[in-house]
Amino acid sequence: MLFNSLGFLIFLPTVFLLYWFVFKKSLLTQNIFILAVSYLFYAWWDWRFLLLLILSTLLDYAFGLLLASTRHKKLYFWLSVVNNLSILGFFKYYNFFADSASELLRQMGFQTNPYFLSIALPVGISFYTFHGMSYVFDIYNGKIKPIKNFIHYAVFVCFFPLLVAGPIERASHLLPQVEKKRIFSYGQAVEGMRLMLWGFFKKVVIADTLAADVNLIFNNYKEYNGSTLLLGAIYFSIQIYCDFSGYTDIALGAAKLFGFELLTNFRFPYFSRNIAEFWRRWHISLSSWFKDYLYIPLGGSKEGKWKAVRNTFIIFLVSGFWHGANWTFIFWGLIHALLFLPLLLSNKNRNYTGHIVAADKKIPGAQELLQMLLTFSLVTIAWIFFRSPNIYDAFDYIGGIGDSFFTVPAYYNQLVYVFIFLWLDWMQRRNERCVLEFKNKYVRRFVYFVFAMLIIFHFNFINRAEFIYFQF
């Protein structure tokens, strides 16, 4: 079920009313109901993949219990890792490895006829697999104790707002909320509605509007001049940010309606002053996951500079591969590793860890503005590889930007959406949770009304655009 669908607009208020008026009597009834509607939400795509989700949940739940009740902790830990990666690898990466191996053998003079799976990628598999793995990792490292109540654990993995595209939750953060009876909070619900309104605006009004032009430009890039190609790359940078952060805002807002607080996933990444700060603000739950469960176990930056360089390249390449079974994603990760490297070698990768750009000013200074523009430009170039079907097309696209550059670009009318969004994002940059808050109630209501009208006007009830990160 898509957030931007008529079905969800019926599903959410129905679940909300039943949750608070019928199933609020006890913690058990609350969690059983949430789990049931989460399974319904997921089965809306394909009920067969619901069985895979339940199997994955059962296995990680069992491994968690085994880790705490046996001497063979390391054995069960690695069995859990192999199990999760096998499920993920089979459904997401089998065709990629089969095709790559076949191409390598062909280059060596061998003819092969590889067998490819003709099966859709289970939606959200990367996210719920990483949920389960983090739970097992934390038990193995002694950070948490295994939970005995399967219903509670299943809600942690399958809670419908975060099920298909995150944020990637931690058991230490979400499980205590699952194990505690929720009481309705009007203030929390209002905050949730604001976040959802802002998320729908970013997705429906900004991302989906830009998506039409992005698709035309990238799919026919050889037909356009350089200025149009540059504009297409900028549009995609805004599109993917509004698409994914819009989903996150809707997820966080929906969770608040049911008494849950999810992890922050975005903190205005396009106002970053270098690549390191960008990655502390973009897809935070995934970046922190790789840092805690891959970078630090490999030694992090405490075992010498060159091991830190090695570990940095590993997490960026793995992060790229996590996004999809295509060399373009791996190359995208490599680009970010190379951009991160000078900061690491010069010990500047920890700059701006807690300081918001122009925190006490309305506009940034000249230096900060140049830093943000440079970072955004580098990120946008990398996004071209992320968006292109293959690496060769990405290089051709970049090469085409220099052709007939000083000409009027096509589709420039959509720039108004870009400027409006960036201005609104800038005004709210001090707190990603406090959006669309205005002291004057009349101004507040007017803004709500305008946003609602824009969403309704741009809402496509027939050809709904999926969220980009659903494919991961």
pTM of the model: 0.93
Residue 464's pLDDT band, with cuts at 50, 70 and 90, is low
Judged by average pLDDT, the poorest of 14-23, 265-274, 463-472 is 463-472
Q: Distance from first CA to last CA of the chain, Å, rounded?
A: 16
User: Which residue, among 1, 123, 119, 146, has the nearest Cα to 53 in the 3D structure?
Assistant: 123
Flag the least confident range among 187-191, 323-327, 461-465.
Answer: 461-465
User: Does the pLDDT of residue 289 top 80, yes or no?
Assistant: yes
Active site (annotated) includes residue 323 = yes
Which of 178-182, 208-212, 393-397, 431-435 comes out lowest in average pLDDT? 431-435
Q: What is the mean pLDDT of residues 161-187?
A: 93
Q: Give pLDDT, residue 137.
A: 94
Q: Average the pLDDT over 456-465 and give the result.
A: 75
Better-predicted residue by pLDDT, 257 or 122 = 257
Contact status, residue 231 vs residue 380, Cβ threshold 8 Å: no
Q: By mean pLDDT, which of 8-17, 356-365, 413-422, 457-466 is the weakest?
A: 457-466
What are 109's two structure tokens?
A: 């003079």
Active-site residue (options: 72, 323, 336, 458):
323
**pLDDT beyond 80 at 438:** no
Q: Is the pLDDT of residue 167 over 80?
A: yes
The answer, yes or no, to whether residue 129 has pLDDT greater than 90, is: yes
Per-residue confidence (pLDDT) for residue 402, from 0 to 100 = 83
285-313: average pLDDT: 90
- Rounded to whole angstroms, the Cα distance separating 159 from 18 reads 16
Residue with tokens 């999760």: 84
